[in-house]
Structure 1
Amino acid sequence: MKFGVSTFVTDEGIGPAVLGRALEERGFASLFVAEHTHIPVKRESPWPGGAELPRVYYRTLDPFVALTAAAVVTERLEVGTGIALIVQRDPIVLAKEVASLDLVSGGRAVMGVGAGWNREEMRNHGTDPRTRMRLLNERVLAVKALWTEEEAEFHGEFVDFDPVFSYPKPVRDPHPPVLIGGSGPTTFDRVLAVGDGWMPIYGRGTEDLAGQIAELRRRAGHRVPVTVFAVPPEAEVIAELDEAGVDQILFTLKTEPEAETLRTLDSLAGLL
């Protein structure tokens, strides 16, 4: 089982290049970063994590800029989105961003995706919250077509383009893995239809994680990779997830200045 961290990279915390180097030096396998393009001032959508939206949500760096900074100072660290709000992103631009990250990192990019919870935010991008799951599926498939086909085209309900050339192509074969976030009643349908792995949040619909993983892999007919977010840094929990068949766990790294972050990483590294 691999160990990584997920975090919000902001203008008020440790820089992504310093963070990436520190993670690799301590033996971590991956860095996943969150994204929000903006936070609407008038917001009615409840945050799933509680009543008050944390400050870091307002101040995230662009994930691909942050991940590129981490990638160019490391050699082994996987760099991924956790999660990219694909329903708020143009798929042609997104395909180029992720493929470019994969190229400059030497094949270490991972694209975790989700539909998001902030309805006001997605409406500002022209996305209807009611159809965001169907939109997510189409955009993932369109991105994969752009990554893998010489003259890619896509014709769907929401995404529609005639044959195009899109470069660069990813380094990783056949393409960077697409991890589907969430743990709702239709999540496995999305994983099986468009994804390459599952990425739930620990404690949110994962009470029977071992059973869920077994069911997902039974339906797929093969070992679907599973990465779990927000894992408590406790030996008992880590052992439980290892036994359940989890492939990678991500500790939540609080957004803090460099000195405080490095002390936290030193403590977490003791669990590896």
Structure 2
Amino acid sequence: MDFGIHIGTRGCLTTRDNIMAMASGAEAAGYAIIGVADHLIVPVHTDVRYPYTADGIWPGAPTGECFDAIATLTFLAGFTQRIRLLTSVLVVPYRPAVLTAKLLSTADVLSGGRVIAGIGSGWMKEEFAALEAPAFEHRGAVTDEYIRAWKSLWTEERPAMDVKHVRFENVVFRPRPTSQPHPPIWVGGESAPALRRAAQVGDGWYPVSNNAQILMNTPELLRAGIDRLHRAAEKAGRDPASIDIAYVWFMPPHWTAKTGADGRRQMFTGSADDMRQDAAAFAAVGVKHLIIYAQQPTLQATLDVQQRFAEDVVRKSA
């Protein structure tokens, strides 16, 4: 199992120097992946609950800050050499299919084949409206068609498509991505439609620990989710072993033990030994890539967390 960090492009990570310091430090510390969140605008008000916090409030709401995720990956590609670059996750309907295929392939070529396309269908209805994206209610079907379009553009000599939400023909798509056959597609989400999408079109499944409706914050709960994924893969006529398993622990590690609602120690809190045991427990149920949320209110605190976790867990779990 390898390790990565997830960041939101807000707060202390909205400046060139700070993002460079974070990414350079992560690469030097031995992380394999940097995941970057995706939002393009922030509504002043939203009536939709954010799925991954207990209060339903998206952490970026108070500031309204965000960078484009693919542009951020391309920037990261310019001064890093090894670390893989993950959209965590890209909201597929926000950008036209052909444009997104070109943006991702550009980042992949310029990074030397280090891009991972983490994807989701989105949750913030007001953001869809502001971007004049396809209707929020159709986001699942749009996501499926756009992914098919990406694969056609990335791999076919004369790509063409004519479906409800995507139409193109008479195009040459060059250069192709460096990653072969294309950048890996990790499907985010914990719901039945997300599992179906991962089983049918994904190279990996990328669930989050703390979806309030579908918790996966223990190895046992995640194992149950992986079992559901495998059943969906078999139904789709696919070998379950062909689907990579990545997982984001969506709370910063904490070196003082915390107790969860079930009375057990919260994962990735406590001693270094505790955290290594937590990582090993997730590896044992099938996780190949463990992403942690490292961002703090200040750059120095962020660097301290990612460095300490690297020293206590990443380097000693190899």
- Indicate the residue corresponding to 1:31 in structure 2: 34
How many equivalent residue pairs? 272
TM-score of the superposed pair, with normalisation by structure 2: 0.80
Cα shift readout 1:64-84 (whole Å, capped 9, x = no counterpart): 222122222222100010011
Gaps of 5+ in 2: 254-267, 269-274
CA contact (8 A) 2:196 2:229 kept: no
Provide the rounded CA distance (Å) in 2 between the counterparts of 1:55 and 1:214: 33
- Indicate the residue corresponding to 1:59 in structure 2: 65
CA contact (8 A) 2:189 2:195 kept: no
Q: Does residue 239 of structure 2 align to residue 221 of structure 1?
A: yes
Provide the rounded CA distance (Å) in 1 between the counterparts of 2:223 and 2:175: 38
CA contact (8 A) 2:26 2:307 kept: no
Provide the rounded CA distance (Å) in 1 between the counterparts of 2:8 and 2:99: 22
Query: Judging changes above 3 Å, is the alpha-carbon distance between structure 1 residues 52 and 190 closer, same or farther for their aligned structure 2 residues?
Result: closer
Cα shift readout 1:114-166 (whole Å, capped 9, x = no counterpart): 01110111122232121110110000110111111122111111111123112
- Indicate the residue corresponding to 1:268 in structure 2: 309
- Indicate the residue corresponding to 2:104 in structure 1: 98
Residue 41 (structure 1) aligned to one of 40, 44, 48: 44
Query: Judging changes above 3 Å, is the alpha-carbon distance between structure 1 residues 12 and 116 closer, same or farther for their aligned structure 2 residues?
Result: same
Identity of aligned residues (%): 27
One-letter amino acid of the counterpart of residue 92, structure 1: V
Could you tell me how far 1:39 is from its partner in structure 2?
1.4
Provide the rounded CA distance (Å) in 1 between the counterparts of 2:57 and 2:109: 38
Highest relative contact order (Cα 8 Å, sep 6+), 1 or 2?
Answer: 1
- Indicate the residue corresponding to 1:239 in structure 2: 280
Query: Judging changes above 3 Å, is the alpha-carbon distance between structure 1 residues 216 and 42 closer, same or farther for their aligned structure 2 residues?
Result: closer
TM-score of the superposed pair, with normalisation by structure 1: 0.93
Query: Judging changes above 3 Å, is the alpha-carbon distance between structure 1 residues 118 and 238 closer, same or farther for their aligned structure 2 residues?
Result: same
> Which of these two proteins has the greater Rg computed from alpha carbons?
2
Q: Does residue 290 of structure 2 align to residue 249 of structure 1?
A: yes
- Indicate the residue corresponding to 1:181 in structure 2: 188
CA contact (8 A) 2:5 2:292 kept: yes
Q: Does residue 119 of structure 2 align to residue 113 of structure 1?
A: yes
One-letter amino acid of the counterpart of residue 239, structure 2: G
Could you tell me how far 1:98 is from its partner in structure 2?
0.7
One-letter amino acid of the counterpart of residue 279, structure 2: I
Q: How does 1:175-214 map to 2 (within 5 A)?
A: 175-204=182-211, 205=214, 206=216, 208-214=221-227
Could you tell me how far 1:16 is from its partner in structure 2?
2.6
One-letter amino acid of the counterpart of residue 249, structure 2: A
- Indicate the residue corresponding to 1:137 in structure 2: 144
Query: Judging changes above 3 Å, is the alpha-carbon distance between structure 1 residues 271 and 129 closer, same or farther for their aligned structure 2 residues?
Result: same
Gaps of 5+ in 1: none
Provide the rounded CA distance (Å) in 1 between the counterparts of 2:32 and 2:45: 38
Could you tell me how far 1:35 is from its partner in structure 2?
1.2
Provide the rounded CA distance (Å) in 2 between the counterparts of 1:47 and 1:108: 29
One-letter amino acid of the counterpart of residue 4, structure 1: G
One-letter amino acid of the counterpart of residue 31, structure 1: I
Could you tell me how far 1:112 is from its partner in structure 2?
0.5
- Indicate the residue corresponding to 2:6 in structure 1: 6
Could you tell me how far 1:215 is from its partner in structure 2?
4.2
